[in-house]
Chain A
């Protein structure tokens, strides 16, 4: 116990080293550095993947460690994206508008500039007035604060309502799914103030930045890698201490933790809110690389995929979540992008674009049934960790408790 945090958690150091190596390698081989082995679009894909890894870490905290299967974390991810997107879109439109208005003979008034920006942004939804939620869109700092604040507040309010009434297990999962659906449907409306199903676009262009996308993509890669590294470190620090003990206790046996005198609801709420904030940050880094955000991004299915990544990677271990998110999302890009070779069977040709989801669905079932440890289990094979024989018993009575096969000695 007197040993340092790193020495108690060697996986953290290994992970950070790998992440740093990865970032440096990709940077060197990128178009931005002049070598150009890796295309800029692939750099963006990698950067986005890092953001997905970050939200997967958040998901692992809430599901793998606290035992709450949230099917709503992509809502927070999307909200983070929307918050930064508002500033990006506002500022870029402002620059364009100011530029074009400076051509006319009489200099524009402040109101004229604002009206023109409003017209540009909200023309597609038949409006030109700025909704109230865009009040702070002109300030990068405030929007950055909102990236954390808005998902955090939503999670706080929703979590308070849900946990207070002791909704657990599948009920809670369904409720979080409903929350995501409600948010997505709300945003789909034109008068939601966020451009309805058009969403926010052109986010890849940083206002006032002259550098080419080759370089900007690298900046985002670095920022994403940094965020992932910090997020991982934070998560590892949280779960390594007594707080980690308590939330794992909640996962396996919620009632027992309560009788120890810990307010289970508060702990759940805190983890829920914290992970929502992390998800918001991940989203704020993801969408400028994706270039566009619309309500379809936060449909319930996205959040379920998040759970799938964590499950395939192996829940209850942070590197598992990262491995799962990275491999599944990259594979998915590969298969659905049409790069995977088709398999001719003579009478039928398997086109992976069509069959990838079938494969993913089935392999997911297989992982759940036969390899609950997910890909993380491979690490156990290598480090020769054994699974205890508990005669088929789970580690606790709670719905989120670890299964026998997931535990290790």
Chain B
């Protein structure tokens, strides 16, 4: 299995606080990975670094077959390279319809001239409709996304991620605030997505992680504490200490 993203020896410090400490992490093409860890373990900062929001003090972040360094790229370039990110809080463009949200996310040229000249064609509209169907929002296409329920917004955001056709999906706590049925739907969406691309899910909820049934990485104080199947890591004494407190 070839490596898609390789993070090695990354550290970052905020005002003396070491949020990420010599972290190394890699993920292959078409792999589903869950990242767990207590609060302040550096999960979100890790995502910030990969997506270019935060620049690390040291270390390397290497992407894809051509082994490009992501550190020299800005957020937009990284996203164009094929890394999609879903935030903890659902962030969709609430003033715009579900359709507009999806069309904006569709994989198309991102330059301003191309976008200015762009008018939606039948194929794109169909794509958007299919995605809407997949995330269960077919009926809501013409509604402003601000009116959707919390869960629907989460799905719309996942749908937008899928529309971007990224090679790596970073998903931050997708199941937060969802009903059991909605969780199930979310799990299906993620499992389906992971068949064709790499997906990293940051999650607190062990039940949800168990359902994903994938390799788990445990972060603690900015570095990897344990890695392996869920059963493997949950039986690790260090992990138990961290989660239950010493």
Contacts and interface: CB of A to CB of B under 8 A. Distances in A.
Direct contact of A and B (CB under 8 A): yes
Interface of A: 1, 238, 241-243, 245-246, 248-249, 252-253, 255-256, 258-264, 266-267, 270, 388, 390, 395-397, 402, 407, 409
Nearest to B118: A242
B116 A395 contact: no
Interface stretch (B10-18, B32-40, B91-99): B91-99
10 contacts: A242-B118, A252-B95, A255-B53, A255-B91, A256-B92, A259-B75, A260-B105, A263-B74, A388-B146, A396-B94
Given A267-B112, A270-B112, A395-B146, A249 B94 contact: no
Contacts of A259: 51, 75, 79, 84-85
Contacts of B120: 1, 242
A261 B164 contact: yes
B87 interface: yes
B100 interface: yes
Interface in B53-89: 53, 74-77, 79-80, 84-85, 87
B116 A263 contact: no
Most buried by B among A245, A259, A390: A259
Given A256-B87, A390-B146, A409-B144, 20 more contacts: A1-B120, A1-B125, A241-B115, A242-B115, A243-B112, A243-B116, A248-B96, A252-B93, A252-B94, A258-B74, A258-B75, A259-B51, A259-B75, A260-B79, A260-B104, A263-B77, A267-B112, A270-B112, A395-B95, A397-B91
Nearest to B144: A409
A248 B160 CA distance: 16
B231 interface: no
Contacts, number: 97
B147 interface: yes
A376 B76 CA distance: 35
Contacts of A266: 111-112
Contacts of B96: 245, 248-249
Interface size class of B (residues with CB under 8 A): 35 or more
B94 A395 contact: yes
A270 to B, nearest CB: 5
A182 to B, nearest CB: 28
A236 B223 CA distance: 51
A352 B104 CA distance: 50
A261 B79 contact: yes
A248 B95 contact: yes
B94 A407 contact: yes
Nearest to B86: A259
Contact of A396 (B75, B93, B119): B93
Contact of B76 (A242, A252, A264): A264
A402 B95 contact: yes
Contacts of B74: 258, 263
Contacts of A267: 112
A259 B164 CA distance: 10
Given A267-B112, A388-B146, A395-B146, A248 B93 contact: yes
Given A241-B116, A407-B146, A249 B79 contact: no
A246 B100 CA distance: 10
Instruction: List the 7 closest A-B pairs by CB distance, nearest first.
Output: A261-B79, A258-B75, A261-B80, A263-B76, A243-B116, A395-B94, A249-B93
A241 to B, nearest CB: 6
A1 B80 CA distance: 26
A241 B124 CA distance: 14
B76 A261 contact: yes
A355 B146 CA distance: 42
Contacts of A253: 91, 93
B103 interface: yes
B116 A238 contact: yes
A409 B119 contact: no
A34 to B, nearest CB: 45
A246 B115 contact: yes
B51 A245 contact: no
A259 B103 CA distance: 15
Nearest to B157: A256
B110 interface: yes
Given A388-B147, A407-B146, A260 B160 contact: yes
A261 B85 CA distance: 10
Most buried by B among A241, A245, A252, A395: A245
A409 B145 CA distance: 10
Contacts of B84: 259
A262 to B, nearest CB: 5
A338 to B, nearest CB: 43
B146 A242 contact: no
Nearest to A262: B110
